[in-house]
Structure 1
Amino acid sequence: MANYFDDNEDLQFYMDRGLDWAPIVGLVEQDFRIPGGYTSLEEARAAYRDILGMVGEFAAEQVAPRSMAIDAKGVHLKDGEGHLAPETDALFEQIKGLDLHGLALPRELGGIGCPAVVHFMVCELLARADNVVMTHYNFYSGIALMLLLYSVHEGTTTFDREQRVITGTRFQPEIAEILRGDAWGSMDITEPDAGSDMAALKARAEQDEQGNWYITGQKIFLTSGHGKHHIVIARTEPDKPGLGGLSLFHVPAYEDMPDGTRRRIAVIDRLEEKLGHHGSATAAVSFDRAPGRLIGKRGEGFQLMLLLMNNARVGVGFESIGACEAAYRKAKAYAAERRSMGKTIDRHEMIADFLDEMQTEILGLRALAMQCAYHEELHQRTKMQGLLDTDPDSLERARVLKQAKRHANRARRLTPLLKYIASEKAVEMSRKCIQILGGAGYIREYGAEKLLRDAMVLPIYEGTSQIQALMAMKDAMSGIMRNPQRFLTRVAQARWRSLSALDALERRVARLTSLTLAAQQHLIQRTAADKLRGLGKHKITEWSKEFFQNWDPKRDFSYAMLHAERLTRLMADTAIVEILLEQSRKHPERRSILERWLERAEPRCNALYEEITTRGDRLLAQLRDQQEDEAASGR
């Protein structure tokens, strides 16, 4: 029988030896002190492996064969409710029977109690079979997990320190409903006139004299938005523009009545017709004084939504790798059978190069994804442990939260790189899959064109590629400005390793690191030089304040913003080779993967560096002229 876990040696590598499971399992299992829990690291990992094997078979034998039917039948709106294809409903009945909705939730809340890393690996397996099924699945378990994390954050989850178990949490009924498979949820952010610019959101939340909250407004592009549990961001402070006036709410979209009817609280305006993801319900939903419950504190909406979106972006990284794997496997299988000019086309040089590149990039992307998921999980679980298991003002809580912050910083650096590069590669590989299949790739019957249609949304949802690039650039530039001495030390260390390291591969990795740091240095120096040139518009007595305080990111970082995607590609390549180098030190068999990645990364990184350091002045001057013309004309 086909099995998407058993046929993937790289996924098995991470399950068996590629990750240090001990810290994560120790946190999940409370150092093996939970009554009825696993008694050892080996027992826990064996169970996780069995789960991945089960899901791998389910994905290959049950999900993949239904993928084309799900795409063909799509979704529809009837009597105000969104309906999925019968094949999708049947699959989710099976998923309900497998108890997969509670995979990463604690046992005491009805979950299986696996690490989130295992959940993300499950997401890759399902995405390889069908992107739509994986996406909808994530809006069950993902929403349940976020409701728990939000409750821990606001202090409404209780914990028994002796038994090492959660004894209650604010959203326990909602979590239980989701884990049973009876409901799911959605993230409600985008509005008709506000997408990536969250400061422009207009949906509002108002509080009555009794303290009850009511939400009014429309949200669009809601994946699985026909579900019940909506996490909605809305403006609570009308006199406070920008992100600081936003708060987060849990809003149930409907109520099921005792007589079997349903009372709609939020109205589904429409289900979008899309290029791909035909089997996924993408909804526009309107709220008209819909009752909601405030999550956290007023004004925390943006920070809390970022917490949700960071996890979602890691999920999209694994989803993208599943899409890449599907494209590679389909192209490889076809090329091994299709004969041309006396041999199968996988023996033709250009096609062989395509396949080698796809395989190499999947291995590198997965290395980045695993590292990202690992640190994000350690961040979340260490923080949760600190908040639940220590006294509020204790030194121990401060120590634990500081440890969580270190993992958060690592995850924050890697997450936009993963989301950017994995989603872009999913589109690129799906396109190559079509090209390798030739005319067959263009025909629906073979399924390659569906891979491309479904992949096209990956660089768009959960924050576009351009938003990820701006985030990565901003963090890099801010880090330099906060601690220039540390940055210069990194530059010197990388240069020294590029010359003195005994290992030739380490020298090559260090050269890529040096190149990326040099690109960052160029951007910060160019930014500072542009700022200095602009001081001539101000009195000399204002120069110090203008240079050190009055920075306008939209104006002063224009050169860096122009090159943000190029810098992100550089940083992604560098992050991947650094991770692969660390792997190769522990597992020598991984050296060949590092060699293959460097072979392709070195020339493209040199080209990216040249573009960053030589291009942009003409376009920026053109944009400045346009802006000045608009200002002069009063537009």
Structure 2
Amino acid sequence: MPYRAPVDDYTFLFDHVVGLGQVVKTDRFSEATSDVTAAILTEAGKLSEDIMAPLQRPGDLHPARLENGVVRTSPGYADGYKAIAEGGWVGIAADPEYGGMGLPMTVTTAVNEMMSAACLSLQLAPLMSQGQIEALEHHASDAIKELYLPRLISGEWTGTMNLTEPQAGSDVGALTSKAEDNGDGTFSVTGQKIYISWGDNDFTDNVCHLVLARLPGAPAGTKGISLFLVPRNLPDENGNAGVANSLKVVSLEHKMGLHGSPTCVMQYDGATGWLVGPEGGGMAAMFTMMNNARLGVGGQGVGAAEGAYQHALAYALERKQGKTKGETGTIIDHADVRRMLMGMKADVFAARAIALSCAVAIDMTTATGDAEWKARAAFLTPIAKAFGTEVGMDVAHQGVQIHGGMGFVEETGAAQYSRDVRVTAIYEGTNGIQAMDLVARKMMDGGEAANRLLDEIEEHAEAAKEQFPDLADAVWQASESLREATDWLNGQGDLQDRFAGAVPYLKAFARVLGGHVHLKAAVADAGGAREKLARFYIQRLLPEHVGLLAHAQAGAGDLYALSVDELAA
């Protein structure tokens, strides 16, 4: 069956699980009423279903290519991007002063997820622009804002982020790109950047690069890094894209997936740029963009999972194989196929709810400036990114399995979801880095943000015990186990002991959060499909937290028990 935007799921989550209502009650987002939100979701769903989904396979079969120094995009992508831009979807959360809709990040997250499910390669283009828009809103000068933001928000121009270099991946402080002051308010930027998503295209007038580089005499490491806005074409006196800047696309990466999205090696040879933020403030400014992107990438994982699930469900409803006693006569009646489909659907719901909960915390921070909301948003961001992308990979993997041998055949389209989503666990900070951030930086408060979340989970479980005693007790007990593990991690002075169990701890936290949101759904839909799905998740998937927490509290000793020679033997 073709992709169907799960608008009803978002509406249910907004109303009954993640608490969008509290966001709308603030002055900042008071115009995002249920009627407005419903209209936005419906229109974004139509765009995703009718315009973007048909571009999924063409982008895979006909990748972007570099031709005489110009990136040529996949068939139909220009029209697809035009529809995104003209619909105002690039600037959905951007400041209305510069042409944005000013809607909550929660609504933006839902829209971006739908677009990711429909065509992840193309969705990356507006996602990159959205991150740049937010960075410029927070850190750029008024002159830069006035020139660039309206054009980025309208989609007339697109934006990128340039961090990685051949020798400086996750260790951004090792970069060697340099910038020199021209004495006229501009800087000359020189260096090479790799893995630049949508570093160029053939359907917008300009591409604006945010580039990390080091000024002369700047200290080593991240403290010496500054951020520069370097456009492909220099704006003329009227603000239009003018002459070409001194930069070029050297090559496009030959990737496992996301073939429709050009991933560029960029070369800057004294290219003209403008400083964004203070000298040495590059990482602070870039983290604004990266944190936006981390939630967005988590949503990409959920979107890919939704697309893969729908693709697998359609096949299971059609494929006849073996004897069945169910209602359809197809493989969907087999117990193991049902196990996979139920697990896929339950995990998509959990990951989607976690991402939207993170977005609500971001919106409440924006609207109120409250420190507790800010801490919650920071705490949930690595969980939303890592769990969302892990679910994306797992669901896409199960989708191939449901297709059987045909899943290994490219023509069915099942493998594309698995190939496309795989990189989401790597970019914007690998999932291992997300987990290390969770157990280190995000635990610098002594576990306060974590424990406030656990308090809420247990309070809701207590309230739900009369209605669903078995489900509520399971969630409450899991939360207590997670609290004990959190206390253990906070008691470890050696960060290696924390880092050794960081990934299983993050997944355990996500599992418990998943139980919490499913219990909320069961309470709101007692006797309905959502209660049935919650029972599956809480009874079959939530118990995984036990083994994960045992792993999380094992320390680092056994990881180093084998010498390097023994590992290689």
CA deviation profile, 1:29-50 (whole Å, cap 9, x unmatched): 675xxxxxx5xx6xx4313322
For 1:228-243, list aligned pairs within 5 A: 228-236=207-215, 238-243=217-222
Contact 2:94 2:101 in 1 (8 A): yes
Counterparts of 2:452 and 2:114, CA distance in 1: 41
Which deviates more, 417-426 or 208-217? 208-217
Q: Which amino acid aligns with 1:375?
A: A
Q: CA deviation at 1:218?
A: 1.0
Match of 2:160 in 1: 186
Q: Does 1:566 align with 2:555?
A: no
Q: 2:129 aligns with which of 128, 140, 152?
A: 140
CA root-mean-square deviation: 3.3
After superposition, the C-alpha distances for 1:283-310 in whole angstroms (9 at most, x for unaligned) are 1111122222211212221122111111
Task: Decide whether aligned partners of structure 1 residues 48 and 488 sit closer, same or farther in structure 2, where only a CA change above 3 A counts.
Answer: closer
Using the TM superposition, name which of 589-598 and 367-376 deviates more.
589-598
Which residue of the partner structure matches residue 289 of structure 2?
Answer: 308
When structure 1 is superposed on structure 2, of 173-182 and 322-331 the one drifting more is 173-182
Q: C-alpha separation between the residues in 2 aligned to 1:261 and 1:303?
A: 30
- 2:340 equivalent in structure 1: 354
- With over 3 angstroms needed to count, the CA separation of the structure-2 counterparts of 1:182 and 1:28, relative to structure 1, is farther
Name the stretch that deviates more: 488-497 or 116-125: 488-497
Q: 2:260 aligns with which of 266, 275, 279?
A: 279
Q: Which residue of 2 aligns with 1:511?
A: 477
* Distance change >3 Å, CA 301–CA 500, structure 1 → 2: same
Q: Secondary structure at the match of 1:456?
A: helix
2:41 aligned to 41, 52, 66, which one?
52
Deviation larger for 490-499 or 295-304: 490-499
Give distance in 2, aligned partners of 1:99 and 1:499: 43
Residue 324 of structure 1 is matched in structure 2 by: 305
**CA deviation vs aligned residue, 1:324-374 (integer Å, no higher than 9, x gap):** 011111111111111122331111111110001101111111110110011
From 403, 415, 421, give the equivalent of 2:381.
415
Find the counterpart in structure 2 of residue 335 from structure 1. Answer: 316
Conservation of the 8 A alpha-carbon contact between 1:15 and 1:49 = no
Deviation at 1:618, TM superposition (A): 3.1
Residue 604 of structure 1: aligned partner: 544
Cross-structure match for 2:326: none
2:73 aligned residue (72, 76, 84): 84
Distance 1:198 1:68 in 2: 34
- 1:204 correspondence with 2:190: no
SS of the equivalent of 1:215 reads: strand
Rg larger for: 1
- The answer on whether the counterparts of 1:28 and 1:114 sit within 8 Å (CA) in structure 2 is no
TM-aligned CA distance change 1:109 to 1:602, over 3 Å: closer
Residue of structure 1 equivalent to 2:114: 125
Cα shift at 1:188: 0.6
- Mapping of 1:447-462 within 5 angstroms? 447-462=413-428
Measured in 2, the distance between the counterparts of 1:306 and 1:87 equals 33
Percent identity, please.
27
Residue segments in structure 2 that go unaligned for 5+ positions in a row = 201-205, 324-328
User: SS at 2:446's partner residue?
Assistant: helix
Partner Cα separation in structure 1 for residue 132 and residue 450 of structure 2: 38
Shift of 1:12: 2.6
Query: For the Cα contact (< 8 Å) 1:124–1:318, is it kept in 2?
Result: yes
Structure 2 contact 74–260 (Cα < 8 Å) conserved: yes
Per-residue CA deviation, residues 84-125 of structure 1 (Å, 9 max, x unaligned), is 113111211222332322222233322333322222211111
Find 1:470's aligned residue among 422, 425, 436: 436
In structure 2, relative to structure 1, the CA distance for the partners of 1:142 and 1:28 (3 Å cut) is farther
C-alpha displacement of 1:615: 6.7
SS of equivalent to 1:435: helix
Q: For 1:393-437, what per-residue CA distance to the aligned partner results, in whole angstroms no more than 9, with x for missing partners?
A: xxxxxxx54x1x322210111110111111111111111111110
- Alignment: residue pair count: 550
Pair 1:313–1:465, CA change in 2 (3 A) = same
Cα deviation, residue 261, structure 1:
7.7
SS of residue in 2 equivalent to 1:233: strand
Q: CA deviation at 1:28?
A: 7.0
Seen in structure 2, the aligned counterparts of structure 1 residues 579 and 319 have a Cα distance that, compared at 3 Å, is same
Larger relative contact order (CA 8 Å, sep ≥ 6): 2
| Aligned residues of 1:225 and 1:283 also touching (Cα < 8 A) | yes
Q: Which of the residues 344, 348, 366 maps onto 2:330?
A: 344
Q: Find the counterpart in structure 2 of residue 61 from structure 1.
A: 50
The CA distance in 1 between the partners of 2:28 and 2:456, in whole Å, is 39
Answer with 577-586 or 487-496: which moved more: 487-496
Q: 1:594 to 1:141 in 2, by over 3 A?
A: same
In structure 1, the residue corresponding to 2:157 is in which secondary structure?
coil
Q: Secondary structure at the match of 2:210?
A: strand
CA change 1:322–1:521 in 2 (3 A) is same
Q: Cα gap change, 1:477/1:55 in structure 2, threshold over 3 Å: closer, same or farther?
A: closer
Amino acid at match of 2:165: E
Q: Which residue type is aligned with residue 290 of structure 2?
A: M
Instruction: Measure the CA separation in 1 of the matches of 2:149 and 2:286.
Output: 18
Equivalent residue number for residue 246 of structure 1 = 225
The aligned amino acid for 2:383 is L
The one-character-per-residue Cα deviations of 1:9-33 (angstroms, maximum 9, x if unpaired) are: 31231355545444534557675xx
Matching residue's letter, 2:559? L
Cα distance in 1 for residues equivalent to 2:207 and 2:292: 20
Q: Does 1:520 align with 2:492?
A: no
Contact 1:497 1:507 in 2 (8 A): no
Q: Distance in 2 between matches of 1:261 and 1:569?
A: 49
Aligned equivalent of 2:203: none
Q: 210-219 vs 196-205, which deviates more? A: 210-219
494 and 373 in structure 1: CA distance in 2 versus 1, 3 angstrom threshold:
closer
Q: Equivalent residues in 2 for 1:577-596 (5 A)? A: 577-581=515-519, 591-596=531-536
Contact 2:301 2:392 (C-alpha < 8 Å) held by counterparts: yes
Q: 2:23: which partner in 1? A: 24
Deviates more, 1:507-516 or 1:614-623: 614-623
Matched, 1:364 2:304: no
Match of 1:317, SS state, is helix
- 1:441 and 1:449 in contact (8 A); partners too: yes
Match of 1:218 among 192, 211, 214: 192
Whether the aligned pair in 2 keeps the contact of 1:28 and 1:115 (CA below 8 Å) is no
Residues 171-219 of structure 1 deviation map (CA, whole Å, 9 limit, x = unaligned): 1221222233322010111111011111212212222445532222111
Pair 1:571–1:18, CA change in 2 (3 A): closer
Counterpart for residue 234 of structure 2:
255
State the TM-score, normalizing by the size of structure 1: 0.79
Please tell me whether the aligned partners of residues 4 and 125 of structure 1 are also in contact (alpha carbons under 8 angstroms). Answer: no
2:378–2:442 contact (8 Å) kept in structure 1: no
